[in-house]
Structure 1
Amino acid sequence: MKIAITGGAGFIGSGLALKLQKDHEILIIDKMSSNEILDNGNLECFGHFKNLLDFEGELYVGDIKDEKTLQKIRKFKPDVIFHKAAISDTTVYNQNKILTTNLNTFKDFIELSIDINAKLIYASSASVYGNQPSPQKVGVEDPKNPYAFSKLMMDKIARKYYDKAHIVGLRYFNVYGKGEFYKNKTASMVVQFAHQILAGKNPRLFEKSDQIYRDFVYIKDAIDANLVALDSKCGVYNVGSGVARTFQDIVDILQKELGTNLPCEYIPNPYIKAYQFHTQAELSKDWAYQPKFSLEMGIKDYLDEIKRLFEKEVNA
């Protein structure tokens, strides 16, 4: 197949490209990281060339808001568009910035996919659930920030076109694994805690971290979900492990794997008013996605990459 991946130099996009490039022709679209920052001081774009060092396909540097970018994809004539590009920072509250980037462009991608008869698999987000009780299920949403709202609106638009195109939205829960390092502050706490421990520092957790639950899903499972989506019915599906684990669990597993016993440091949670305290994906019986990695298995599989990053990037 010919496959276009927007946000293909980012975390999930790059993993997908590297997984598929052996058997398919890949075009990556990415704005690429620069010195542009958002109103919270974080980077606007996380696309990084080091995620693509082993990539053999074509990279086109462009903004999804630019008509030239759409024309580039149209000319490529992909069979599938994996649409991962977005401002994905949940702590950004500039509604205009988030919605013009994430939402306004989405209609263009739907129309493009219809015109060229391409399947469209796009990134939604578990953030749409807000504080809804676990397990979170599609159809019961309560977004608490502009990013979550943008994803919910994308899901609503997509539903209007199910009869015209193959469109699947994937609501990612807390994805971790290879390729996330260049997300900087928004990288998972798995890699952040691991690098604290490797540096000999006490892991810093929010107070009552043994009572804060998340559905942590390993990158290899998230990539598999995208492949399952190619043959699934149109719809929106949760991508998680289906199991809720605590941030304390992450630290305990890492310390066991790394052979350390550093005391934890507990700090006040500055996001307590806009925080999800328990997330767990309700996995749909209507599609074939089956997560394979427990948190223990995922961290163990990830550990060599974590150590490499610590040596080559953190201490470079």
Structure 2
Amino acid sequence: MKILITGGAGFIGSNLALSLLKENHEITILDNLSAQIHGDEPDKTSPLYNSIKNEVNFIKGSVTSKTDWEKAINDNEVIVHFAAETGTGQSMYEIARYTEVNIQGTALMLDILANSNHHVKKVVIASSRSIYGEGKYYAEDLNEYVYPEHRTSGFMDKGYFDVKYPGCEKELKLVATDENSKIHPSSVYGITKQNQEQLVMTVCPTIGIAPVAFRYQNVYGPGQSLTNPYTGILSIFSTLIKNGKPINIFEDGLESRDFVFIDDVVNATYLGITKEAANNGIFNVGTGVAIDVLTVAKTLVEKYNIDVPLNITGNYRLGDIRHNYADIEKIGKTLGFKPSVSFNKGIGAFTDWVNKQEIGLGKYEQSLAEMKQKGLFK
């Protein structure tokens, strides 16, 4: 097939492109080579870009440009739409940029598809677990599943980080978040991903295109950016450890996420592209296992064999959730997807790769300073 991957020079996109090339698919990539991800000179500073630039039809351009979209869509049969501004914290003070790229960029694609001749038969949209906001819980007091609202500064300033639900005195029990769970994002980023998904799933069926949405959990693995402070804690913690700096862990360290290895994400996405059973479907992509942040930090320290202080700070970021991990029953039954890489095995592969990289200082402290200045980091 002829497949367009927007944001295809990024972490997931480049890995997917290389996988599809092995299956003899013809790949076009539209990417703006953002300096935050690829550095100021991508030819020299971006291994991800260099891994695909001579293997695909590469178009440097933006999803906010109609001309770039038209050039990229051309005669492709499938669009995998990864291009987006990412990062929960940054989205809370760069609202216009996030909405322009994520929402308007997607709307522009759909507008072209709805009003022009093309060969596109399927659109795969990269959604996110962030659209759920807080995860799903069981309330023993009420004997029902509940979806707590976002935590407030009033409680977290006092060190109360667990979620609460009206009428419940007993501790809520965290359960896996399924695709029918409540959608109530707690960040601008989450809102934009929700909008992207809704636009694609609503418009595509009306114009004869099969939509597929993947709600990815926290994707990690060899090749992810170690300099972008918005790529997740594995990169952030690794950079700090390799520089011999202490890790300041937010809240009480017990907040948890579902970490899914890049190979499993590529496999799930490939199934979505190639299987008709995926058409018109929305799927979680994760491992179905929750790992708390303190465990992540301890595991990385152990893997690198570098002893740095782990400080539980009680600091927090507005817009962060407490817990979320995926129910992956639907994607398993429908597409036959089963994660193959455990957290321990995946972390081993990731840290082995990091050990071979030249590690800079990163921009994490700068990103926190920006958030603090905006009143979003407490």
Q: Same fold (TM over 0.5)?
A: yes
Task: Give SS of 2:28's match.
Answer: strand
Aligned to 1:124, which of 113, 120, 127? 127
Moved more, 106-115 or 283-292: 106-115
1:87-166 alignment to 2 at 5 Å? 87-91=85-89, 92-93=91-92, 94-110=94-110, 112=112, 115-133=118-136, 134-139=175-180, 140-160=182-202, 161-162=204-205, 164-166=208-210
Q: Which string of whole-angstrom CA distances, capped at 9 and with x for unpartnered residues, describes residues 126-154 of structure 1?
A: 11111232422223210122221122122
2-structure distance, mates of 1:306, 1:103: 34
Q: Which string of whole-angstrom CA distances, capped at 9 and with x for unpartnered residues, describes residues 229-261 of structure 1?
A: 121232221111110001111122223322344
Whether the 8 Å CA contact 2:135–2:325 is kept in 1: the answer is no
2-structure distance, mates of 1:73, 1:292: 33
Whether the 8 Å CA contact 2:249–2:311 is kept in 1: the answer is yes
Q: Which residue of 2 aligns with 1:38?
A: none
Structure 1: 5+ residue runs without aligned partners?
35-42
Q: Which residue of 1 aligns with 2:280?
A: 234
Alpha-carbon RMSD = 2.3
Q: Report the AA paired with residue 219 of structure 1.
A: I
Fraction of identical pairs, as percent: 28
Whether the 8 Å CA contact 2:227–2:360 is kept in 1: the answer is no
CA drift of 1:185 comes to 0.5
2-structure distance, mates of 1:100, 1:192: 27
Q: Which string of whole-angstrom CA distances, capped at 9 and with x for unpartnered residues, describes residues 156-207 of structure 1?
A: 2223233621211111111111332166101221122223223333333224
Q: Which residue of 1 aligns with 2:237?
A: 193
2-structure distance, mates of 1:127, 1:183: 22
Whether the 8 Å CA contact 2:222–2:349 is kept in 1: the answer is no
2:62 matched to 1:70? no
Larger radius of gyration: 2
1-structure distance, mates of 2:356, 2:298: 21
Q: Which residue of 2 aligns with 1:253?
A: 299
Change (3 A) 1:229 1:305: same
TM-score using structure 1 length? 0.87
Structure 2: 5+ residue runs without aligned partners?
137-174, 362-378
Q: Which residue of 2 aligns with 1:291?
A: 339
Aligned to 2:82, which of 78, 81, 84? 84
Aligned to 1:300, which of 340, 343, 348? 348
Task: Give SS of 2:321's match.
Answer: coil
Whether the 8 Å CA contact 1:122–1:168 is kept in 2: the answer is yes
How many aligned positions are there? Answer: 302
CA drift of 1:111 comes to 5.2
Moved more, 279-288 or 56-65: 279-288
Moved more, 96-105 or 241-250: 96-105
Task: Give SS of 1:8's match.
Answer: coil
